[in-house]
Structure 1
Amino acid sequence: MNPVVEINHVTKIFPNLRGIHDVSMKVQRGDIYGFFGPNGAGKTTVMKIMTGLARAQQGEVKLFGFDVSTQHEQAMAKVGALIETAEAYTYMSGRRNLELAARLYPGVGKERVDEVIELVGLTPFQHEKVARYSLGMKQRLGLAAAILSKPELLILDEPTNGLDIEGMVHIREIILKLAREERITFFISSHLIHEMELMCNRLGIIHHGKLIREGRITDIMAGSPSLEAAYLREIQGNRGLAAHA
């Protein structure tokens, strides 16, 4: 089976010498793939390159077999994305924002707007202005906009960042529901390892711009009492390798 996402030897270095170095990973259809690392590790840079918002200096990214840099329209045809923050017109209602977004997609009408509002749990608040929404509600609205076109791949950058525990649980439940009911493949970044453990079946760990481990969460956790302990083991092992390089 061909992977939904192929990232091959991608490098991008910024003037401050931070960036990502030779990152390669694959996401298979049906995965909820967690992309984990501390703040500043390079997660958002990778995701911007994946969606064409930034260009790699070396390497390539393919979505559904199409190169993002040379076949962008085909690569993004089945993709929904929420990168960094959910943008919306705050003086409009949540529903009106989605109705405007729906105009961008042929064949997406009122019925689909109704569906996504219900899926993300915003039905009671759909006619309220977004200015009155909590951060969690804005994140749910962003998710609703990202799935309007019925994407097969959803790329989410820190979807639970800044939320309280209840908000995190709501977003996690929505992601699991979308994976189950809409059969969406997910690529989700986070610096919250507990969230990764609860949501994802596969994980890529990035540290100082380098991918240091990728695989099934059960394999990464083998021999460790928790994913957190497994992560710390990987970091310590990576430091040891670097010291002897």
Structure 2
Amino acid sequence: MSEPIIQLDSLSKTYKNGRGVHNISLEVRRGEVYGFFGPNGAGKTTVMKMLVGLSQADTGSARLFGYDVITHFTQAMQKTGVLIETAEAFEYMSGSANLALAARFYPELGKGRIDEVLELVGLLPYKQEKVAGYSLGMKQRLGLAAALLSKPELLILDEPTNGLDIEGMVDMRELMVSLAREQGMTFFISSHMIQEMELMCSRIGIIVEGRLVREGALNELVDGVHVASLEQLFMASVKQERGKAAHVHV
């Protein structure tokens, strides 16, 4: 069995309004495409921010490549690409210029790497256009290109298909599956596009109201709950967890 690339151990964080995440534990191994699902406000982005050191847990730990993201941030992030929430870019600059700016942090990269990642995400023909003229989907593609720039071994992506049309979603799915299979790249992905994710995820986690309620191999979870699809598994999990909460509050 391959080594764990992501390790979350009893990760918890509570905000002033009482919401947060509670005792999240999971592992993602090399070459896996791991789907992380939950309703709006369930805590997906909170977990992802703690995973990359943008937010600190109250208790528990998050490790990447065996390194704690708080105490050994540089080592943990060295082989990690990240796209969380909205892809940010300087709109008055071209797509290529934005990536050139980011590439300054990776002096070891060859001169052709920018064009290489732009071609991977389908933006090479538009590399000299200003980002202000990009559609939302094109901006997401540029964000993914930036995440791929350093040749990472792990990609952490929050809603990477946001704004993409059907063709764009298929392109992204095929790209991620190809990178996982051919290069052993590992993906931790949050998305609401359940049908697309079902086609590429080997393992999943479902978080509801801050708690991880399902976690494991996709086919085993679907068979275990006797449903026909990831969508049905997701809806059954949410309904069951909310039913428990309603019973507690009665």
TM-score range, shorter chain: over 0.9
Paired position in structure 1 for 2:231: 228
More deviation, 193-202/78-87: 193-202
| Aligned-CA RMSD value | 1.7
Gap change, CA 1:163 and 1:117, over 3 Å in 2 = closer
TM-score (norm 2): 0.92
* Cα drift, residue 21 of structure 1: 0.8
Whether the 8 Å CA contact 2:179–2:185 is kept in 1: the answer is yes
Greater shift, 172-181 or 196-205, is seen at: 172-181
Structure 2 unmatched runs, 5+: none
2:244 maps to 1:238: no
Q: Which amino acid aligns with 2:132?
A: A
CA contact (8 A) 1:23 1:210 kept: yes
- Map of 2:8 onto structure 1: 7
Cα deviation 1:8-58 (Å, max 9, x = unaligned): 001101111111011111001000000001111100000000000000000
Which position in structure 2 is the counterpart of 1:61? 62
Give, in angstroms, the shift of residue 180 of structure 1.
Answer: 3.3
1:234: Cα distance to partner? 2.4
Q: In the TM superposition, what is the alpha-carbon distance from 1:136 to its structure 2 partner?
A: 1.2
Question: Could you tell me whether the CA contact under 8 Å between 2:34 and 2:202 is conserved in 1?
Answer: yes
**Structure 1 letter corresponding to 2:97:** R
- SS of 1:199's equivalent? coil
Q: Is the 8 A contact 1:102 1:109 kept in 2?
A: no
Q: Is the 8 A contact 1:93 1:127 kept in 2?
A: yes
**Shift in Å, 1:240:** 5.1
Alignment partner, residue 98 of structure 1: 99
* Counterpart-to-counterpart distance in 2, 1:31 and 1:176: 9
Does the CA contact (< 8 Å) of 2:137 and 2:162 recur in 1?
no
Q: Deviations 1:56-83 (Å, cap 9, x if unpaired)?
A: 0000001000011111111111101001
Contact kept? 1:10, 1:58, Cα under 8 Å: yes
Give the secondary-structure state (helix, strand or coil) at the position aligned to 2:62.
Answer: strand
Aligned counterparts of 1:182 and 1:117: Cα–Cα separation in 2: 18
Aligned pairs (5 A) from 1:112-131: 112-131=113-132
**How many residue pairs end up in the alignment?**
245
**Residue 21 of structure 1: aligned partner:** 22
Between 161-170 and 41-50, the greater mean CA deviation after superposition:
161-170
Partner residue in 1 for 2:208: 207
Q: CA deviation at 1:235?
A: 2.9
| Corresponding position of 1:197 | 198
Give the aligned partner of residue 111 of structure 1.
112
- Tell me the amino acid that sits aligned with residue 30 of structure 1: G
Q: In the alignment, is the contact (CA less than 8 A) between 1:82 and 1:155 conserved in 2? A: yes
User: Match for 2:230: what amino acid?
Assistant: L
What fraction of aligned residue pairs are identical, expressed as a percent? 60
When residues 174 and 135 of structure 1 are mapped into structure 2, their CA distance, relative to the original with a 3 A threshold, is farther
